[in-house]
């Protein structure tokens, strides 16, 4: 069966590998000159910096096997100190002053306030009800910034954080959050040469089946199949962001296209800075719970990982903008770099001039799952029923993390070729 996979991000690459494993004949169409989508790495002047994700939170066994990169997996090395910017101060997590400011006393009374997770509740409301205004507000700010560069008042507790509902059903969120499920392998990881190596290896393994610089402008159903760029296919995996899915479908599925256009994403601009090693703290990084810094999250990759900066230098990665302050992501490069440097000076006391700067812009970086997301996506998929074989995959629909989109791609392949 010939299947067109539109979009060569991790969702599309994963779908293509699974289709191949199932004996189908996939062809990937990717608009950009390289595969990987948000996943990409640049190595220059001794710095290794990521376009998008830095760490993955769950194993990716099938893709590591397909890319033969198992031996390249690296995990961050201590110190893994995390800081939270709260009330204009930089506090170590989970240090005592943070716990005091967070109102942890009320949070420990959580079981008395435990209410079920209503379907359509924003994350901020849910956690504030369970943990109290201070601790709940802080937890919601940290979770939404850390995963979505998002707004706790606009993200769904149930659909943006599926594990939260499961924890809440078991009783106390705080107690259950610290319990690791039996047999689980947890811990974040990346690859020695950056996550871009995964995308490159997956594309390479697909050989001539990946067409780069091949943006699909028109998709049309006909004769029990699809026409893509003038070629006939038996089925399609649409592994593109929601706006691109809307553009490609409005001619034959206008209701679906309308639903896809309602899905929102937040813009993010990533600022990589090469600084003097001694000027920068060692640790994991900082999350801004106040919403007052230009970066929602700042990582210290060279403190944790080998080969991220030349000797004597440090790489600092600031993830700027997001749903609460999209205007910060839109600042011109020079202004944003100066603003991030001013924030680094005010928070960590960094006094230096960057010797290396790289800015990566994503207008629609991370989908923002609003309350009711899961139901909207189910309804949207139903609007495609009756068409020839067509499956959706990727971050717009089934989870935004790289492991989620990989699963989403593989699941789309399995539905097409059971």
Q: CA-CA distance, 180 to 408, in Å (whole number)?
A: 24
Min dist. Cβ of residue 174 to ligand FAD (A)? 24
The residue behind tokens 């198992």 is 70
Does residue number 15 form part of the binding site for ligand FAD (CB under 6 A)? Answer: no
Question: Applying CB under 6 A, which of residues 3, 4, 5, 8 lies at the interface with ligand FAD?
Answer: 8
The answer to whether 286 and 302 have CB atoms below 8 angstroms apart is no
Among 402, 410, 413, 416, binds ligand FAD (CB under 6 A): 402
Stretch that binds ligand FAD, among 156-164, 322-330, 370-378, 399-407 (CB under 6 A): 399-407
Q: What one-character DSSP code corresponds to residue 76?
A: P
In contact, 24 and 416? CB cutoff 8 Å: yes
Residue 56 in contact with ligand FAD, rule: CB under 6 A: yes
Task: Tell the smallest beta-carbon distance from residue 36 to ligand FAD (Å).
Answer: 7
- With binding defined as CB under 6 A, does residue 146 bind ligand FAD? no
How many residues bind ligand FAD (CB under 6 A)? The answer is 38
Q: 3-state class of 33 per DSSP?
A: coil
Shortest approach of ligand FAD to residue 244 CB, angstroms? Answer: 4
Rounded to 10 degrees, the C-alpha dihedral 408/409/413/418 comes to: -30
Site for ligand FAD in 295-324 (CB under 6 A): 319
Q: What is the DSSP letter of 79?
A: P
The residues near 77 (Cβ < 8 Å, ≥ 6 apart) are 304, 305
Nearer to ligand FAD, 7 or 122 (CB): 7
Tell me if 274 sits within 8 A of 314, measured CB to CB.
yes
Residues 342-371 vs ligand FAD: string with x where CB under 6 A?
Answer: --------------------x--xx-----
Which residue is listed with tokens 């191949």?
Answer: 20
Binding mask 222-261 for ligand FAD (x = CB under 6 A): -----------------xxx--x---x-------------
CB 255 within 8 A of CB 288: no
Query: Based on CB atoms, which residue is closest to ligand FAD, 123 or 145?
Result: 145
Residue 194 touches ligand FAD, criterion: CB under 6 A: no
In Å, how far are 135, 273, 298 from 167, measured between CA atoms? 17, 38, 28
Which region among 5-13, 121-129, 251-259, 325-333 touches ligand FAD (by CB under 6 A)?
5-13
Cβ-based nearer residue to ligand FAD, 63 or 216: 216
Please give the full DSSP string across 18-30, using - where no structure is assigned. HHHHTT-EEEEE-
Is residue 191 a contact point for ligand FAD (CB under 6 A)?
A: no
22-51: contacts with ligand FAD (CB under 6 A): 29-32, 37-39
- In angstroms and rounded to an integer, the radius of gyration of the C-alpha atoms of the chain is 22
Length, in residues, of the chain? 418
- Cα distance between residue 15 and residue 10, in whole Å: 8
Residues that bind ligand FAD (CB under 6 A): 6-12, 29-32, 37-39, 52-56, 215-216, 239-241, 244, 248, 268, 270, 319, 362, 365-366, 394-395, 400-402, 405
């Amino acid at each position: 069966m010939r299947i067109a996979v539109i979009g060569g991000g991790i969702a599309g690459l994963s779908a293509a590998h699974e289709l191949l494993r199932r004996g189908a004949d996939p062809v990937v169409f990717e608009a950009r000159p390289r595969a990987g989508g948000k996943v990409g790495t640049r190595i220059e002047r001794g710095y290794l910096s990521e376009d998008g994700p830095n760490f993955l939170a769950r194993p990716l066994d099938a893709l590591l096997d397909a890319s033969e990169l198992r031996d390249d997996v690296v995990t961050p090395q201590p110190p893994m100190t995390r800081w939270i910017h709260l009330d204009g101060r930089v506090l170590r997590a989970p240090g005592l002053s943070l716990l005091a400011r967070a109102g942890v006393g009320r949070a420990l009374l959580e079981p008395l306030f435990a209410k079920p997770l209503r379907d359509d509740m924003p994350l901020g409301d849910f956690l504030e009800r369970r943990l109290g205004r201070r601790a709940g507000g802080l937890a919601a700010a940290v979770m939404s910034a850390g995963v979505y560069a998002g707004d706790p008042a606009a993200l769904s507790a149930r659909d943006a954080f599926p594990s939260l509902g499961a924890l809440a059903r078991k009783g106390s969120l705080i107690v259950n959050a610290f319990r690791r499920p039996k047999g689980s392998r947890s811990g974040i990881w990346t690859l020695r040469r950056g996550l871009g190596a995964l995308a490159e290896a997956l594309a390479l393994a697909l050989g001539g089946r990946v067409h780069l610089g091949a943006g699909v402008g028109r998709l049309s159903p006909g004769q029990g199949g699809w026409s893509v760029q003038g070629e006939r296919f038996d089925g399609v995996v649409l592994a593109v962001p929601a706006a691109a899915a809307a553009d490609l479908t409005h001619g034959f599925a206008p209701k679906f296209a309308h639903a896809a256009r309602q899905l929102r994403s937040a813009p993010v601009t990533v600022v990589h800075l090469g600084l003097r090693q001694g000027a920068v703290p060692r640790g994991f990084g900082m999350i801004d719970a106040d919403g007052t810094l230009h970066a929602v999250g700042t990582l210290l990759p060279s403190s944790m990982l080998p080969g991220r900066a030349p000797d004597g230098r440090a790489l600092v990665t600031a993830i700027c903008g997001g749903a609460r302050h999209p205007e910060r992501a839109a600042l011109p490069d020079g202004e944003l770099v100066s603003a991030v440097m001013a924030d680094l000076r005010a928070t960590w006391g960094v006094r230096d001039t960057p010797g290396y700067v790289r800015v990566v812009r994503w207008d629609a970086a991370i989908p923002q799952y609003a309350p009711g997301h899961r139901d909207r996506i189910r309804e949207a998929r139903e609007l495609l029923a009756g068409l020839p074989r067509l499956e959706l995959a990727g971050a717009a629909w089934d989870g935004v993390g790289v492991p989620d989109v990989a699963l989403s791609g593989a699941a789309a392949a399995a539905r097409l070729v059971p």
